[in-house]
């Protein structure tokens, strides 16, 4: 079992971890392909006796298994980091709510100003766009 990190405000970010372990996995995949492509020919071992080639093949398969174990480790970290989402603290949630309330007040003020003022069509359209944008931001933070 792989011990995986907990994402928190003082730690490494999920995207950094994901990118680093993705790069590690890609490098290991290249190493795996190169190990599989590397020569291990029985003719290179026969002077050592009839079992030398089989021992060499067994050792190679052990190395390949270890390499794949490291690949699994890199995958576990990458997949974990990909799934991580930072959970806001109660203080952060309160700040988000406060910002939402501020945006609501701003949107209400703009709407009231729009209703009371005699604005030209361009100013009116711009204020409507700003009010709509503030409402979207407020709704995202609700």
pLDDT digits (tens, 9 = 90+) for 70-123: 999 999 999 998 887 556 667 767 777 777 777 777 777 777 766 666 566 777
Query: Cβ atoms within 10 A of the Cβ of 136, count?
Result: 12
Per the structure, the count of domains in the chain is 2
In a domain, 1, yes or no: no
In a domain, 39, yes or no: yes
In a domain, 8, yes or no: no
Of the candidates 15, 59, 11, 14, which has an alpha carbon nearest to the alpha carbon of residue 35?
A: 59
Indicate if 53 and 37 belong to the same structural domain: yes
In a domain, 28, yes or no: yes
Range of the domain at 31: 14-83
Indicate if 100 and 79 belong to the same structural domain: no
Average pLDDT, the chain: 84
The set of residues, in sequence order, having a beta carbon less than 8 Å from that of 97 and lying 6+ positions away, is: 141, 142
């Amino acid at each position: 079992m792989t011990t995986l990190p907990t994402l928190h405000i003082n730690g490494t970010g999920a995207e950094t971890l994901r990118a680093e372990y993705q790069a590690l996995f890609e490098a290991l995949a290249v190493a795996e392909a190169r190990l599989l492509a590397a020569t291990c020919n029985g003719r290179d071992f026969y002077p050592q006796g009839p079992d030398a080639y089989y021992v060499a093949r067994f050792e190679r398969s052990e190395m390949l298994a270890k390499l794949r174990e490291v690949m699994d480790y890199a995958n576990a970290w990458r997949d974990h980091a990909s799934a991580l989402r930072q959970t806001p603290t109660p203080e952060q949630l309160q700040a988000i709510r406060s910002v939402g309330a501020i945006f609501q007040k701003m949107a209400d003020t703009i709407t009231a100003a729009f209703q009371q003022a005699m604005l030209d069509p361009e100013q009116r359209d711009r204020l409507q766009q700003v009010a709509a944008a503030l409402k979207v931001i407020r709704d995202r933070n609700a």
